[in-house]
Structure 1
Amino acid sequence: MAKILVATEKPFAPAAIEGIKKLTEEAGYEFALLEKYTDKSELLDAVKDATALIVRSDKITLEVVNAAPELKIVVRAGAGFDNVDLETTKERGIVVMNTPGQNANAVAELVLGMMVYGARNQFNGKPGTELKGKRLGIQAYGNVGKNVARIAKGFGMEVCAFDPFVDAKDIEADGVKAVEKVEDLYSNCEYVSLHIPALPATINSINYTLTSLMPKGGTLINTARKEVIHEEDLEKILRNRPDFSYISDIAPDNAEELKKEFEGRVFFTPKKMGAQTGEANVNAGLAAAKQIIGYLKDGDETFRVNK
């Protein structure tokens, strides 16, 4: 009997586990669970007879793949999948999928929540500003970007987006202005929200040149990946532009130094919180289980990311 293993250092919500277990057993497969593991050896032992694997931010490396001779599919419950070794899994014939869109609203609500927090001076009692009438630039118009745009328009913001992989007509059909160059996004928007993956082309791409283009009072919001930020340039723009702010769901390596030197102008969540809602947790977990069952039964590879 094929075994579907949920292996998460950071556990799913109980409702998600119950749902995954029910789907797995109704499909005729064995369900296994590894939660809150503290040593990689626990993961290596758990995967040794797993046919399918559901993970969150857990690192699925060459070592893990080599320890799992029966493994056929890995599903990352969430949008990002840079925690999975795509090359090794592809070489082994293991399908890797993500669950796009399941966390999108949760991340988008966090973006707007952090924007309000920043605009109101982190609720320190001093007068702040409103979001209404301000311009928001969205860098990457995928599932999260679309939800950010939807909510931001509800605040009365003017929304622009840059995404070279999305047709401008599709962006503008949502009432969002499409810009041709990323530089135009930064130079025209008081707020820029990042939703780009960490790829060779994007790592350290958010640099001084781009951020220095932002209008007075510019705020950069990052709920994507830490690696896309050029951290030395971030410190430089904060030092050279006393009006600039940075709010992130992923703390940079020099977070403590930045908080001390630029108090009130930077904010970092204690840990990555974008998908940390009960609804997103359940949605992503159930989607992962359904995708595994669809692949094992029918060979459905709709959300494969390591083709």
Structure 2
Amino acid sequence: MLNQKKLPQQAPIHSGYGPRTTAQEALGNQDLSGKIAIITGGYSGLGLETTRVLAEAGATVIVPARTREKAEAALKGLPNIELETLDLSDPRSIDAFVQRFIASRRPLHLLINAAGIMAVPLKHDARGFESHFATNHLGHFQLAAGLWPALKKANGARVISLSSRGHRMSDIDFADLHYHHRAYDKWAAYGQSKTANALFAVELDKRGTADNIRAFAVHPGTIVTDLARHLSDEELKAMGALDEQGQRRIMEYNNETKTIPEGAATIVWCATSEQLAGKGGVYCENVDIAEINPVNAPTPGVRPWAIDPQSAERLWALSEELTGTKF
């Protein structure tokens, strides 16, 4: 049982923002000149909006991409952009990207891990790792480990881990992470990876605080983006994400469903807000720190297993073992 008294920071601070806040509004008038950010998935959906807002505020934004042509088209016209090559499912590609950045001798002020896959068919990589867990968690774990010297050099870095309310669909199954023995469920696999993203922020913040590196997990809301490309029309219709003509659409607005600018707001807030100075290791949504809610509660918030310090430490040790990476 999670002792909530050990997690005093996992409670709303009543930021003054809310579900309709946009990324631009969450940033305010901050000047990010001189700041350097790396945003995985920074050329699509929420990542692209985050890239735009930070770059137009003066930050140098490095956007690594698997498909350079797609990224070039999406980022055309934005200032302060550096396009790079990276495949989060390929450990050699991650190492090569890290080496290139470290060789530049620059600090890294913001690492925003926004890339990911959702509800894909069962697939294992060359190491035998299930694709959601390998891409959404292990790829970003290896990336952050390699970039650690640059994060320390920033003397005030933040690492943003894009989790999801989908974490409610599964805790970490340490006995069979990669679906070698249990029946595959694409939503449970996605949920497990999103729980891993949240736990990553918990443990990274604990380890990074002494070097002035803070970490945050973010649930952006439910937004119809390219992340849903593997969902069938029937699944999208059940979610209310298809109109009568069969076109993808924004669902009826509420505190959960958002536009892309609204969905990127919590990411930008966690990356830049002075309201979070001295804080970290927390799960955020609707531009505030989320409440802890019971496992079966219909309400939003973070489930206890996604912020459990013991699980975070166990996942960290296992991730080091699986990737052969040490921070």
TM interval, shorter chain, is 0.3 to 0.5
Larger Rg: 1
Which has a greater percent of strand?
A: 1
TM-score calculated relative to the size of structure 2: 0.34
TM-score calculated relative to the size of structure 1: 0.35
Tell which has more relative contact order, 1 or 2 (C-alpha 8 A, sep 6+). 2
